Structure 1
Amino acid sequence: MQRGLGGRGLILAGWLAAIATCMVPCAAFAGQTAAPAGQQPESSTTAQAPMTKAQAKELFRSVDEIMSFVSSDSKLPIEHRVKRKLISRDQVNRYLTKKFNEDEGTKRMERSEIVLKKFGLLDRDFHLRPFLLSLLTEQIAGFYDNKTKTVNLLDWIPPDQQKPVLAHELTHALQDQKVGLTKWSDVTLENTANNVQQDNQHIQMDEADTARDAVAEGQAMAVFVDYTLRPTGKTLADAPELGDRLQDMAADSNGSPVMARAPLLLQQSLLFPYTDGLSFEQAILVKKGAQAAFADVLENPPSSSFEIMNPQAYMSHAPVPVLRLPDIHPLLDAEYTPYDVGVMGELDVRMLTELFGGRKVATALAPQWAGGVYYAAQRKSAVTEAEKDSTASIALLYYSRWKNADAARSFLCVYASEIPRKYSGVVRRTQDEADGNEQIYSTNEGDVLLSISGDGVFISEGFELPLARKLRDQIVGIQPTGPLQTAQVQPHELSLGLAHTLSSFGIIRAAALQRYTFEGYPSTAR
């Protein structure tokens, strides 16, 4: 899929990835160090006086000490000293707003928004751009800039609260020295696919940026936890229960008003690199040690959200399910312009099924995913900007494979239940259905065809029924019957593009990490 849908996941992750390519994904833990037991941490949005010169000097001096800890903990060598800079909240906000307005990633993000809405992952009346600007200004904190090789420190956060944040950010600095993060973290194809070769190239490369973001942030989170646990003598590797505790805390949006009202897609795709990335790194740490979890993973990164969510599959070199598209352009190009193509990965399925069917359904179905691909085209009859911005201008197809026929049918039921909520004027046309494996609907945006064959589910929204059936037959017919093709080391995924872009701005849910209280473990923040 094009940057912006994903590879990061449907669309969201890709967008966020594209917005700030000069900045490595980083965590903005504004004041999010562990709070002493029984004490609530300050809100990241609470106004605080700028630090004194003495405090600034202490914080600058601590950079080298913390860098040594990070190197020892991660086994990543220090190649050179890292530059440091103290910046104000206004400077951060002005920089991010300017970058958001000018960056090519914003344009890709806005283009992808319509596909997310077509899938039902965003409400039709949701406006992503102003929401993300609000989120940026609420969530931003310190960051490492891999373009200038500088760690940017915040003049409104006390030094003791920034030191664990520094452990996170300086992990990015050592990653940068190891592999060159600007090039390493952004490998998604830029241009719209216009033929079958480009379609499948995009599909092959669709989730890589998402997976690499999860590696970068997961490693930084692991070091952050180890730094916080220093007084106990424990680490994430020998206190593995902390990983689950962090997942639970990250899911709590208390203290982040903007994130609390964010759509599920935005919340989960934003958190994915930090929470699932941490779980991925923790699994490798426990089984294989620091060298494998840090340097080795940077050298041979996973290629998909599937591997991040299933670290055992990554460690055992299990094939990553990747489907193919036939040459559908002769059927479409007279009336449609190619708009987007890509992977619907396991993370996308988890979010989609939770949104449509609830968390229990998502927990049960997502692990049964065995590959998914989508294609979006825009009607050439849509001429005005208003017409092009409408989901009615987009026709969408989505083909997924499942580990068994029961899982495929369950997914079809979940997806079908959402059709009346996505469209108006929905009427089921049972008289047009060829057999019990088809569901056909009329909607205000055209025909909808849902079809199941064995362990495969085909969905068409907006294509006229005869064309939809031709597309289905070609797509189902080209898929392998044996083991699925393995993804290359560079895919992207629809929703995760958002996470990639946001993380590259230096964003993380500050409120979640502000609540970092490890029960039973003393805190480094006093």
Structure 2
Amino acid sequence: MLPSSRIALALALTCGLAGVRPDAAAAQANALVSQAREVEAAVARIRELPFVHSVSVAVKDREAIRAYALGRLDREYSPEQFRAKSESMIAWGFVRRPFDLRPFYAELLAEQIGGYYDPFEGVFFIADWLPSLLQKPIMAHELTHALQDQHFDLKPFLRDVRGNDDASLAGAAIVEGEGLAVMIDYALGPVGMTFEDVPQLEALLDTQLVADSSSFRVYASAPAIVKQSLLFPYIHGLLFVRAAKERGGWPAVSALYDSRPASSEQILWPEKYFEERDAPTRVELPDVARALGRGWKRIDRNVLGELGYRVALEGLPGGAGVEAARGWDGDAYALYERNRGQTALVSVSVWDSEADAEDFERAWRSVLDRGGREHRIVRDGTRVRGVVDVPRGREERVLRSLKSAEIAR
């Protein structure tokens, strides 16, 4: 749902190193630049990949970095795009009305902002307020992004895949997973360990992130879809990078940039990428505005993906939502609006088997019933069509229109 790559810069402190308070006085700029040069050499050694050229650096205070980050965010997303994403989050039941994503992002940035590398400018911005304990590990993370950019060009990974936030999330997982891997290797270097040597890595990260999140009011109040979308590229990206490195060292990680994963499913289940590759089924929805009736227009269309369905179904007991989402093979949804605020959600999803489709249908119906939502769901083999909050009397017409959705591998 959300473009986590756009605000990855705001979450560097939540990747196992957050919760430390700033020093009383910021380090001098020239000392920070010298530290960055030392870390730059270490990153190249750890990653077994030389920098093409030395990275440009600039030392900035909190307000300057915050203003720059917000400006970049606003250049990437218009107010209408933010509003459409907000309405889609409401329609899926991720948040309650009223909810406005743009000011929430602004608050999150203000709370979490740290130094970061900007591939559009080719500059690493060093945060002058961070404590010395954190500076070098965070430098290692961000300078890894600079190294990635010099060799693989990060810009395509930071731009959204049009109409497919799930694919964007998968791309971000490569970038942030590798950044976190090198950062951990840098931190563990003095004891001769790497991130691959850490036992129960996923559980350790989960525990650390839960502990750290209590220190951050805005993050702690974030909807589950926001938290999951923000943390996914780090935690599951790191595990995916580990799976790649186990199969062929750092060269196997480099190869990911030429053949990027296409879905959160492939990141969650690395064997679906590295072994028998399970490419997502592409779903193209017809425009159902006419079937909805006069005055309706489409304001958003996207892909929810396995991670999104996990969150949509997470209210079910005993982990049933995670299991129901596991059979995901592809989907698309669209959000329509009439009279600003009256919305209708339509969705077509494809599942690995008829049993998987039946499990999802049952789970989604249960979630919608619990929420008191008006809905109709129809299953045809491995495909599930659903409409939510469609005007009464129009459901069958819209469902018939959705039968013409184009399905392709």
The aligned counterpart of 1:156 is: 129
Distance 1:472 1:76, change over 3 A: farther
> Is the 1:164–1:228 Cα contact (8 Å) retained in structure 2?
yes
**Shift in Å at residue 284 of structure 1?**
0.9
Counterpart among 225, 243, 246 of residue 184 in structure 2: 225
The aligned counterpart of 1:171 is: 144
- Within 5 Å, give how 1:284-295 maps onto structure 2: 284-293=244-253, 295=254
> Is the 1:27–1:168 Cα contact (8 Å) retained in structure 2?
no
Query: Greater relative contact order (Cα 8 A, min sep 6): structure 1 or 2?
Result: 1
**Cα shift readout 1:67-92 (whole Å, capped 9, x = no counterpart):** 12212222333100011221112222
2:340 aligned with 1:396, yes or no? no
Residue identity opposite 2:35 in structure 1: S
How many residues are aligned here? 407
The aligned counterpart of 1:412 is: 361
Higher alpha-carbon deviation: 330-339 or 343-352:
330-339
SS at match of 2:143: helix
Q: Distance in 1 between matches of 2:144 and 2:63?
A: 26
Q: Distance in 1 between matches of 2:285 and 2:62?
A: 51
Counterpart among 100, 122, 145 of residue 95 in structure 2: 122
Q: Distance in 2 between matches of 1:218 and 1:474?
A: 40
Q: Distance in 1 between matches of 2:130 and 2:208?
A: 22
The aligned counterpart of 2:272 is: 313
TM value normalised by structure 2: 0.88
The aligned counterpart of 2:155 is: 182
The aligned counterpart of 1:135 is: 108
The aligned counterpart of 1:469 is: 396
**Shift in Å at residue 331 of structure 1?**
4.2
SS at match of 1:220: helix
Q: Distance in 1 between matches of 2:348 and 2:258?
A: 32
Counterpart among 456, 473, 497 of residue 383 in structure 2: 456
Distance 1:344 1:314, change over 3 A: same
Residue identity opposite 2:54 in structure 1: R
> Is the 1:243–1:282 Cα contact (8 Å) retained in structure 2?
no
Residue identity opposite 2:187 in structure 1: T
**Shift in Å at residue 161 of structure 1?**
2.2
SS at match of 2:395: helix
**Shift in Å at residue 251 of structure 1?**
4.0
2:49 aligned with 1:76, yes or no? yes
**Shift in Å at residue 323 of structure 1?**
4.1
**Shift in Å at residue 50 of structure 1?**
3.0
The aligned counterpart of 1:234 is: 193
**Shift in Å at residue 102 of structure 1?**
5.8
Name the Cα RMSD after superposition.
2.9
Q: Distance in 2 between matches of 1:333 and 1:472?
A: 10
The aligned counterpart of 2:258 is: 299
Q: Distance in 2 between matches of 1:275 and 1:30?
A: 13
Counterpart among 246, 254, 275 of residue 205 in structure 2: 246
Identity of aligned residues (%): 27
Distance 1:358 1:160, change over 3 A: same
> Is the 1:30–1:142 Cα contact (8 Å) retained in structure 2?
no
- Within 5 Å, give how 1:7-406 maps onto structure 2: 10=1, 12-13=2-3, 25-26=8-9, 28-30=11-13, 43=19, 46=21, 48-53=23-28, 56-100=29-73, 103-105=76-78, 107-186=80-159, 188-189=161-162, 202=163, 207-239=166-198, 241-252=200-211, 253-293=213-253, 295-316=254-275, 318-325=277-284, 327-329=286-288, 331-332=290-291, 335=294, 336-354=296-314, 356-358=315-317, 360-379=319-338, 382=339, 388=340, 390=341, 392=342, 394-406=343-355
Q: Distance in 1 between matches of 2:276 and 2:79?
A: 35
**Cα shift readout 1:160-212 (whole Å, capped 9, x = no counterpart):** 421011110000000110122224431533xxxxxxxxxxxx4xx55332211
Q: Distance in 1 between matches of 2:371 and 2:16?
A: 42
Higher helix share: 2
**Bigger Cα Rg:** 1
TM value normalised by structure 1: 0.70
Residue identity opposite 2:105 in structure 1: L
Residue identity opposite 1:461 in structure 2: V
Q: Distance in 2 between matches of 1:328 and 1:88?
A: 48
Distance 1:321 1:474, change over 3 A: farther
Distance 1:465 1:420, change over 3 A: same
The aligned counterpart of 1:521 is: none
Q: Which runs of 5+ in 2 are unaligned?
A: none
**Shift in Å at residue 243 of structure 1?**
4.0
- Within 5 Å, give how 1:401-440 maps onto structure 2: 401-419=350-368, 422-423=371-372
